[in-house]
Amino acid sequence: MQPLNDYFTLLNTMESGAGEVAIDRSHNMFIIGALLSQKPDDVLELGIGTGYLTVSLIHALRYNGKGKLTCVDNWGDARGGDMEDVAGNLRMAGVNVVAPMEERTFLANSPDNAYDFLISDADHVNSGTWVDEHLRVVRPGGILFFHDTNNTVDYPNMSLITKRVRELDLPHYHFTKSSRPDERCERGLLFVVKR
């Protein structure tokens, strides 16, 4: 139970909205619940940001007792912080940190069906134009999450993700609602199952 206790402690120490950048607590819990239930072997996180979700994923994989986490970031949002320290800590926790690395380049060089669980929260300007690449690297039956999919004022191309998933008729659910003043779930979380 210790890894789950560590996860709950992390949840309690983060603000609900976790600041400007991170995934909201409710969406974090949904992603972690899916990972605890699906028991993936290979997890890909695009966009480390605050590390809030990354560390949550580490606790959940430890609880599962299986699964390898790969995280990709170009350190574009680093804002002067020493991201190599962040990367070092994540590597010590067993994470395969691929950084600095462009999302587009990483995906283009990844084999088909390499992952069974993917979270996309990196290149909000362009990633809507390569949804087929996200899908290509995930195995049939795998799970994908896309964050900020309803934040189309700031990031117009993010609407292309939901559009493409609907065109392909993939099972999905688009979470777009907040119910509390201290959360920003309306930014959107798209849950997709690869056929």
> Among residues 52 and 175, whose Cβ is nearest to ligand SAM?
52
- Listed in sequence order, the residues at least 6 apart from 9 whose beta carbon sits closer than 8 Å to its beta carbon are none
| Cα dihedral 79, 80, 85, 89 in deg (nearest 10) | -20
Which pairs from 22-25 meet CB under 8 Å and 24+ separation?
Answer: 22/49, 22/50, 22/52, 22/53, 23/52, 23/53, 23/121, 23/147, 23/189, 24/178, 24/183, 24/184, 24/185, 24/187, 25/183
Residue from 7, 30, 52, 145 in contact with ligand SAM (CB under 6 A): 52
Judged by CB under 6 A, the stretch of 20-28, 32-40, 161-169, 172-180 that binds ligand SAM is 20-28
Residue nearest to ligand SAM (CB): 49
- Confirm or reject binding of residue 17 to ligand SAM (CB under 6 A): no
- Confirm or reject binding of residue 16 to ligand SAM (CB under 6 A): no
> Among residues 23 and 138, whose Cβ is nearest to ligand SAM?
23
- Confirm or reject binding of residue 76 to ligand SAM (CB under 6 A): yes
> Among residues 103 and 183, whose Cβ is nearest to ligand SAM?
103
- Confirm or reject binding of residue 102 to ligand SAM (CB under 6 A): yes
- Confirm or reject binding of residue 55 to ligand SAM (CB under 6 A): no
- Confirm or reject binding of residue 81 to ligand SAM (CB under 6 A): no
Identity at 117, one-letter amino acid code: F
- Confirm or reject binding of residue 149 to ligand SAM (CB under 6 A): no
**Site size toward ligand SAM, by CB under 6 A:** 20
> How far is Cα 143 from Cα 191, in angstroms, rounded to an integer?
7
Residue from 50, 64, 151, 157 in contact with ligand SAM (CB under 6 A): 50
Cα–Cα–Cα angle for 75, 173, 126, rounded to 5 degrees: 30
> How far is Cα 49 from Cα 175, in angstroms, rounded to an integer?
21
Q: Is the peptide bond before 100 cis (omega within 30 degrees of 0)?
A: yes
Instruction: Give the footprint of ligand SAM on this chain (CB under 6 A).
Output: 21-23, 47-50, 52-53, 72-77, 102-103, 121-123
